[in-house]
Structure 1
Amino acid sequence: MIIVNTETVPGMEIERAFGIVSGNTVQAKHIGKDIVGGLRGIVGGKMVEYEEMFREAREIAEKEMVKQAEDLGADAIVNIRYTSSSIMSGSSEVMVYGTAVKLK
């Protein structure tokens, strides 16, 4: 599956657009990592606990989006975008979406 954040795949022609596909997840860290992340927020420093959480969330959301596109018969997803929102302290939603297409 080709995934790009451009409107087309360079050097390829779009034969058919299937429509928007998306994936989302809400992730939270366990209390221990949340406490460590909170302490880093006080004393400063790179918050690796939350970076890990977002990385995992993006991967889960992307897999869900790709599965939707594959089910439609697409071989690429163009113009992808990510959004995120905080649900509560230590957890957040990550959503990814784009247009599933068939290339010539």
Structure 2
Amino acid sequence: MIIVTTDFVPGKEIRELKGFVKGSTVQSKNIGRDIMAGLKTIVGGEIREYTDMMNEARQKAIGRMVEDAEAKGANAIVQVRLETSAVMQNASEIIAYGTAVTVEQENS
């Protein structure tokens, strides 16, 4: 699956629009991460536990978006965006969305 943030795939012609696709996940903090984060806020620096959690959440959201695109018969997703929002205290949603398309295939 080709994933780009642009309106087109460089060097490829879009053959068909398949429509809007999305994937999301809601991640919550856990007590182990909270303890480590609390200690880190005292001394300063990156809170690696949360960075890792959000990276994992982004990958899940993108993976679910790709599944949605594949179900529609797409081989690429253009105009991809990622957003995050707090859905409740100590929980954040990550959503990945874009437009599923089919682009010309390489000749083998």
Both proteins in one fold, TM over 0.5: yes
Note the aligned Cα RMSD (angstroms): 1.2
Q: Percent identity?
A: 51
Alpha-carbon distance between aligned partners in 2 of 1:70 and 1:5, rounded to the nearest angstrom = 18
- Structure 2 CA distance for aligned equivalents of residues 35 and 26 of structure 1: 20
Is 1:54 equivalent to 2:67 in the alignment? Answer: no
Please list, as runs of the form range in 1=range in 2, the aligned pairs for 1:67-86 lying within 5 A after superposition.
Answer: 67-86=67-86
**Maintained 8 Å contact 1:34/1:90:** no
Aligned to 2:37, the other structure's residue is in SS state: helix
* Other-structure match for 2:26: 26
Q: CA deviation at 1:89?
A: 4.5
**Counterpart position of 1:11:** 11
- CA distance in structure 2 between the aligned counterparts of 1:53 and 1:75, rounded to whole angstroms: 28
Note the residue ranges of structure 1 that are not aligned, 5 or more in a row.
none
TM-score scaled to structure 2, two decimals? 0.89
In structure 1, the partner of 2:94 is 94
Distance 1:48 1:90, change over 3 A: farther
TM-score, length-normalised on structure 1? 0.93
The count of aligned residue pairs is: 104
Q: Which runs of 5+ in 2 are unaligned?
A: none
Distance in 2 between residues matched to 1:51 and 1:95, nearest whole Å: 16
SS of residue paired to 1:92: strand
The residue type paired with residue 15 of structure 1 is: R
